Structure 1
Amino acid sequence: MSLRAWATPLVIGAFAIMALTGVLMFFHLDTATMKTVHEWAGLVMVAGALAHLLLNWRAFTTYFRRPLANAIMAAGVIVAGLTFVPNLIPGVVEGAGLGPEVVIRSLGNARIDVLADLAGKAPEALQAELKAAGYGDLALDQTVKSAAQGDGGVLRGILATALVPKAE
């Protein structure tokens, strides 16, 4: 099988996977396997892009004669390089700050009875509400994270059921 037969379709397929999973992860709508699939699709896309580049080397080099193309490529290289600079954006520090992911991770470590207290509900009432929402018989001493069994969507669903007021 020739390089030309698979290089571009591989890039297109990997891009489709990365675009979908990347957008969903950006909005924190990911599942337990999405990050892994996204990372592997990224590696597959790199392999396909290198093959595509090899096939189209002559056409690729013409971009270096175009000022706009050079500016776009230089911006990409600069942004990629800046990702290695720690604490570049004030308030955005790996593992620190009070972004949504930190709050969700902390609430995920809470037990169901503690989550009930945070929601201003009786523990048994929250337990019944979660069961009615389809999350099964959860023990009051069980953590939200263990109840979600590694599924980020389920974890956020449990938190939303507990914490978001019902429209009346």
Structure 2
Amino acid sequence: MPSLRQFATPITIGAFLLSAVTGVLMFFHFDTALNKPAHEWLSWALVLGVGLHLAVNFRAFRTYLKRPLARGVIAGFVLVLAASFLPLAGGAGGSPVKAVMQGLAEAPVARIIALSQDDPAMVHDRLAAAGYEMAPGQTLSSLSGGDRAAEAVILKAIFAP
């Protein structure tokens, strides 16, 4: 039966290759089809591979951490990781989609319907068919009960072709 040592390094190398290639493709916006889901979900294989690799080579890893340069480099990456959780000044750099969705959530549904450039009566019928009866002045957030999935259903009904 193969040992854990025989699996640790190939899993780490293969998962790193997958994560690196899909990450670079995503960075340059060349990703297609399943690149993003593969990167997000199969990167767990990298976590597993590194965990196995550390378990198999723990004594060597402990010895390696006694070196000041190694500790310094790792500490630098830990600091960058910690900094990545800090909010950016002025909220710059965030997704504009998030801001648009927050604005839509607080907008009256009648105003959103006007954006669709559809006949309001037809849109009301589509909303009713989806199970939503709106009151005058009601916002998207109040109509959906604050449920983001329901907001998506309502917006789909409003902007349906």
The alignment's TM-score, normalised by the length of structure 2, stands at 0.55
Paired positions, count = 97
* Structure 1 position 42 matched with structure 2 position 82: no
CA 1:85–1:94 in 2, change beyond 3 Å: closer, same or farther?
farther
Structure 1 unaligned segments of length 5 or more: list them: 97-168
Bigger drift between 83-92 and 71-80 goes to 83-92
Q: Give the greater-gyration-radius structure (CA).
A: 2
CA apart distance, 1:90? 7.0
Q: Residues 85 and 2 (structure 1 numbering): CA distance in 2 closer, same or farther, change over 3 Å?
A: same
After superposition, the CA RMSD in angstroms is: 2.1
Cα distance between partner residues in 1 of 2:90 and 2:12: 32
Partner of 2:27: 26
Give TM-score, length-normalised by structure 1. Answer: 0.53
Name the structure 2 match of 1:156.
Answer: none
> Residue in 2 aligned with 1:6?
7
CA distance change for structure 1 residues 27 and 51 in 2, over 3 Å: closer, same or farther?
Answer: same
Detail structure 1 runs of 4+ shifted over 6 Å in the superposition: none
Alpha carbons 1:11, 1:48 under 8 Å: kept: yes
Deviation track 1:39-89 (CA, whole Å, cap 9, x = no partner) reads: 122110001100100000011011221111011100111111122112269
Report if aligned partners of 1:86, 1:93 keep a CA contact under 8 Å in 2: no
Q: Give the whole-Å Cα distance in 2 for the aligned partners of 1:62 and 1:75.
A: 19
What is the alpha-carbon distance in structure 1 between the residues aligned to residue 95 and residue 24 of structure 2?
A: 21
**Kindly tell me: are residues 44 and 24 of structure 1, through their superposed partners in 2, closer, same or farther at Cα, counting changes over 3 Å?**
same
**CA distance 1:46–1:69, shift in 2 (3 Å):** same
- After superposition, the Cα gap between the structure-2 partners of 1:8 and 1:24, relative to the gap in structure 1 and judged at 3 Å, is same
Measure the CA separation in 2 of the matches of 1:50 and 1:85. Answer: 27
After superposition, the Cα gap between the structure-2 partners of 1:18 and 1:88, relative to the gap in structure 1 and judged at 3 Å, is: farther
Alignment of 1:73 with 2:51, yes or no, is no
Q: Distance in 1 between matches of 2:53 and 2:90?
A: 35
1:162 equivalent in structure 2: none
Give the fraction of aligned pairs with identical amino acids, expressed as a percent: 47
Gaps of 5+ in 2: 98-161
